[in-house]
Amino acid sequence: YIKALLRDSKSMLMAEAAALALGAQMLCTLGVQQPFFLSDNQQLVNFFNGKDHNNPPHWKIKPFTQSFINNTSRNNARIFKIDRKLNTTAHVLATQASRGLTF
């Protein structure tokens, strides 16, 4: 279990991108090969699975998307879309974070 805090998150998209970047960095550092990432954000999944990584869904998340790409290219990671209903804990925490609530 890892708890992290992102200050000044501008959107749920940014929070999701930051969480994926952190996870990718940790798994790369640990030397985990071929990890699977699950996200309920279709925009991010499409972006990461696409060929053009120069234009993220929003420019403010570029540092996070670039970090994710850099780290996942080293360990052959894959990202998949899951239904938001199956990702309830992450969705609740992201919603709280976007409202500035402490959890």
- pTM: predicted TM-score of the whole model, two decimal places: 0.82
The predicted structure's pLDDT at residue 98: 65
In 3D space, the residue among 95, 85, 97, 81 whose CA is nearest the CA of residue 40 turns out to be 81
Q: Are 28 and 37 in contact (CB under 8 A)?
A: no
Could you read off the pLDDT of 72-83 as tens digits, one per residue? 998 999 999 988
CA pseudo-torsion sign 84, 92, 80, 35: negative
Residue 42 to residue 6: CA distance in whole angstroms: 21
Which residue carries 């053009």 as its tokens? 52
Could you read off the pLDDT of 6-65 as tens digits, one per residue? 888 888 899 899 999 999 999 999 999 999 999 989 999 999 999 999 999 999 999 999
